[in-house]
Amino acid sequence: MLKTDTKKEHTRTLRDYLETVFRHKNKAILFFLAVVISSVIVLKLTPGSYTSTSTLMIRRGRENVVLDPTTATGAMLPIYKDWASEINSELEILKSHELVENVIMRLGPTVFLTDPKPDRGGKLSLIRSALNPARQWIANVLKRFQKPENENGDGELGQRNKAVRAMEKNLHIHVQENSDIITVSYTATRPELAKQVVTLLIDSYFEKRIDVRKTPGAYQFFTDQREQLLDELQQTEKAIRTIKEEADILSLEDSRLTLQSALQETRTRQLSARSSLAAANARVNTLRTLLSQQSSADPSLQNGGALLDREERKELQAELRREETAQSALSAENLEISRQLTQLRAELAALDKVEPSIRSLQREQDLLEEKYRKYSENQEQARINQALETEKISNVSIVQHATLPTQPDPSRKMFKLLAAMCLGLAGAIGIAFGADYLDPTLHSAADISERLHLTTLIELPDLPAHELDPCALPPEDIPRETSGRTAKDCFQELCFKILALRTDEKPVPVVIGITSTSTGEGVSTIAANLAAAFSRDDRFSSLLLLDANPEQLPVEWGEHTPPFTYQHINDLAEDDESEPEPPGTAAFAEYLAKLKKQQHDIIVVDIPPVSEGGYAVRAAAELDIVILAVEAGRVPWRTLLRTAGLLRAAQASLGGIILNRQRFAMPAWLYRKL
């Protein structure tokens, strides 16, 4: 069984990205130098610039509240915002397009459109004279695409727009961090012009901010509103008095409380009277029933029955008359209480009828009184604001007036040069990665993982020839390559990774094939060094290197004897008693079976390149593990993808890729650090 993991992606590391940059360092350095040198030449020929600066301080003052007569109450509205938003508001006023246009109208557009650049020793004049024909030709071409100027002043409007853009480009307004200081600066080719622009801009700013924050006609508005509210308040008070007089009410709350108390008391009396009347009715009915029974009784029972005598009967009749009298009194009292209750309810209903009108008028009266008070206060505040605006008193102070620069500003050129260097560096890195993206060849394990989706067993550096001799022992003073590993270390690691691909423990020799896409990719050298690395392992006693190339080339091992057995495919065919068959037929499987019977532990097969024909693919299908050797930066990845597809189609056990002759562009010390 062969264990492969083709889905595992090899992620790129910082070393891979730096290697990409160093691989194309010539292109990157050339682009960087071209950008920087061009920038230096342009900055050298550009005249010096002068910057005039002025600073303003914003204090908390009366501008933090707004007197707005357009609101419903005309109140003084506090501005609930932090101090940073207040500073930003001042910045927006300073950066407004109107202030820039005011400065341009005072100085004229030609001041900003002309470029009185000083000529340093006549060099600039010579360059201009040489470029004049080209500039004239470009101007003529551009005129064809421009709209013609008409008689409505489009030419002047166009000049003014150009002047606005030119001024805004050189105008810088910013606030210092964690402070209330605003800095205004302007850069020009003449110091006088820079100072003049800053001065005019600040003057326009003071006028503009007063116009923005003031409320025209506020004092007269509050005066008229105050008088109107006074008339409405008097009319409302008169209407309330009229309604109370008609309803005979002094106080709405007191009248309601009195009526409710009387109504409650009357209801209590009514309940008591009804109870007394019911008791009186019951007594009267009882006495009448008793008298009626005595009248209808049998006379024979007069002496021996239960009849009352004459005196008792008279007393009972007197008692009935008294109860009937009390009953009549209680009935009259109940009727009177009902009449009083009806009257109280009528009075309360009348009070409920007029109460909404009174309360509505009272609410209106309260609102009018509150508005009248506020409008009176705002009238006084408007009068104060009007006086302050007339005197141009504000919470903005000029900390430093516009300066007159005497020396050109070197920081702008340094900033431009630094920006050009950053641009050149970014472009150089982009060119390096762009060139690497367009490169169809493979240079690292990450490239193989991204393009081929195959596992890279090892990345072999471009080692010297004396170190790749599989027979000679490397001396201790052999210089290490960029990776810091010798050939012995690399191939020993390759042996461990190849053995890790097998998951079974069958006691049969492991047959490992090495092939490539085209000739010259170091397959024979890799196979010989791999066999030598296996021979250094104590677990294996018999190693065979089988050269499966149809054409037998002479092999020289030098002074030392190889630690493995070497055979060519043609030698096996000659040793066979039957008629020899040329390599590339089905006899390769028989030859391989014969080799397995010779008790070899490891058989390393040097397979011809896949590009030489189908023999290499068929031979690879007979092996336990097939490894594809790829020389870094040589074969396009699409060709390698087709090679891997042919091996898979032939059901060959493709174990992975050996990236051979990998050349490291970055310095050795940096490679070892990463």
Contact 431, 76 (CB under 8 A): no
For the residues of 591-622, what is the DSSP string, one character each?
HHHHHHTTT-SEEEEEPPPGGG-HHHHHHHHT
What spatial distance separates the first Cα and last Cα of the chain, rounded to whole Å? 36
> Looking at residue 425, what is its pLDDT?
94
Q: Is the pLDDT of residue 606 over 80?
A: yes
Q: What's the CA gap between 270 and 330, in Å, rounded?
A: 11
pLDDT higher at 167 or 260: 167
Residue 395 lies in a domain: no
pLDDT higher at 117 or 136: 136
Domain count of the fold of the chain: 4
- 451 and 430 assigned to the same domain: no
Residue 390 pLDDT class (50, 70, 90 cuts): low
CATH number at residue 167: 3.30.1890
Residue 367 pLDDT class (50, 70, 90 cuts): confident
- 186 and 318 assigned to the same domain: no
**Quick one: what percent of the chain has pLDDT higher than 90?**
18
Domain that holds residue 65: 51-122+153-213
> Looking at residue 637, what is its pLDDT?
93
Q: Is the pLDDT of residue 305 over 50?
A: no
Q: In what order do the strands lie in the sheet with 543-547?
A: 456-461, 654-662, 625-631, 510-516, 602-606, 543-547, 565-568
> Looking at residue 152, what is its pLDDT?
42
> Please, what sign has the CA dihedral across residues 212, 217, 221, 223?
positive
What are the φ/ψ torsions at residue 565 (nearest 5 degrees)? -90, 135
Residue 120 pLDDT class (50, 70, 90 cuts): very low
Please say which residue of 213, 242, 265 terminates a domain.
Answer: 213
> Looking at residue 213, what is its pLDDT?
64
Q: Is the pLDDT of residue 303 over 50?
A: no
User: What does the pLDDT average to over 613-627?
Assistant: 89
> Looking at residue 639, what is its pLDDT?
93
CATH number at residue 647: 3.40.50.300
Residue 134 lies in a domain: no
- 469 and 435 assigned to the same domain: no
Lowest mean pLDDT among 343-352, 550-559, 590-599: 550-559
Q: Is the pLDDT of residue 526 over 80?
A: yes
Q: Is the pLDDT of residue 392 over 90?
A: no
pLDDT higher at 146 or 95: 95
| 116-120, 388-392, 508-512, range with greatest mean pLDDT | 508-512
Write the CB contacts of 521 (distance below 8 Å, at least 6 apart in sequence).
609, 629, 630, 631, 634, 635, 660
Write the CB contacts of 191 (distance below 8 Å, at least 6 apart in sequence).
50, 52, 404, 405, 406
Q: Is the pLDDT of residue 135 over 80?
A: no
- 176 and 265 assigned to the same domain: no
| Residues pairing with 2 in the sheet | 502
Residue 370 pLDDT class (50, 70, 90 cuts): confident
Q: What's the CA gap between 417 and 477, in Å, rounded?
A: 48
| 67-71, 265-269, 437-441, range with greatest mean pLDDT | 437-441
Q: Is the pLDDT of residue 393 over 70?
A: no
Residue 137 CB neighbours (<10 A): 10
For the residues of 606-664, what is the DSSP string, one character each?
EPPPGGG-HHHHHHHHTSSEEEEEEETTTSBHHHHHHHHHHHHHTT--EEEEEEEEEPP
> Looking at residue 143, what is its pLDDT?
61
Lowest mean pLDDT among 20-29, 72-81, 428-437, 619-628: 72-81
pLDDT higher at 426 or 8: 426
- 464 and 604 assigned to the same domain: yes
- 416 and 288 assigned to the same domain: no
Residues in the chain, overall count: 674
Residue 72 pLDDT class (50, 70, 90 cuts): very low
Q: Is the pLDDT of residue 69 over 60?
A: no
Residue 128 lies in a domain: no
Q: Is the pLDDT of residue 614 over 60?
A: yes
Write the CB contacts of 587 (distance below 8 Å, at least 6 apart in sequence).
573, 581
Residue 640 lies in a domain: yes
User: What does the pLDDT average to over 250-264?
Assistant: 79
Please say which residue of 390, 424, 451 terminates a domain.
Answer: 390
pLDDT higher at 125 or 672: 672
> Looking at residue 74, what is its pLDDT?
45
500-515 residues labelled b (16+ CB within 10 A) or e (exposed): ebbeeeeeebbbbbbb
pLDDT higher at 323 or 211: 323
Residue 505 pLDDT class (50, 70, 90 cuts): low
Residue 521, CA distances (Å) to 462, 480, 583, 658, 661 in order:
12, 22, 22, 10, 8
Residue 127 pLDDT class (50, 70, 90 cuts): low
> Looking at residue 150, what is its pLDDT?
46
What are the φ/ψ torsions at residue 567 (nearest 5 degrees)? -140, 150
pLDDT tens across 629-673, in order? 999 999 999 999 999 999 999 999 999 999 999 888 888 778 777
- 317 and 415 assigned to the same domain: no
Residue 142 lies in a domain: no
Mean pLDDT of the chain: 79
How is residue 502 annotated by DSSP?
Answer: B
Residue 36 pLDDT class (50, 70, 90 cuts): very high
Q: What's the CA gap between 607 and 589, in Å, rounded?
A: 14
Q: Is the pLDDT of residue 199 over 80?
A: yes
- 522 and 385 assigned to the same domain: no
> Looking at residue 323, what is its pLDDT?
84
Residue 86, CA distances (Å) to 90, 210, 267 in order:
7, 15, 68
- 357 and 343 assigned to the same domain: yes
Residue 3 lies in a domain: no
Which stretch of DSSP H or E encloses residue 285? helix 252-295
How is residue 300 annotated by DSSP?
Answer: G
User: What does the pLDDT average to over 364-375?
Assistant: 82
CATH number at residue 297: 1.10.287.1490
Residue 135 lies in a domain: no
| 330-344, 377-391, 511-525, 595-609, range with greatest mean pLDDT | 511-525
Matching residue, tokens 């000029």:
398
- 371 and 355 assigned to the same domain: yes
- 628 and 668 assigned to the same domain: yes
Residue 422 pLDDT class (50, 70, 90 cuts): very high
Residue 27 lies in a domain: yes
**Quick one: what percent of the chain has pLDDT higher than 70?**
76
Please say which residue of 213, 238, 261 terminates a domain.
Answer: 213
pLDDT tens across 442-476, in order? 988 888 998 898 999 999 988 887 778 777 655 55
CA angle 286, 290, 295 (to 5 degrees): 150
User: What does the pLDDT average to over 230-248?
Assistant: 78
- 576 and 559 assigned to the same domain: yes
Alpha helices per DSSP H over 469-606:
487-500, 523-535, 569-575, 587-596
Q: Is the pLDDT of residue 28 over 90?
A: yes
> Looking at residue 440, what is its pLDDT?
92
Residue 369, CA distances (Å) to 31, 225, 437 in order:
80, 12, 81
Q: How far is CA 31 from the centre of its chain?
A: 34
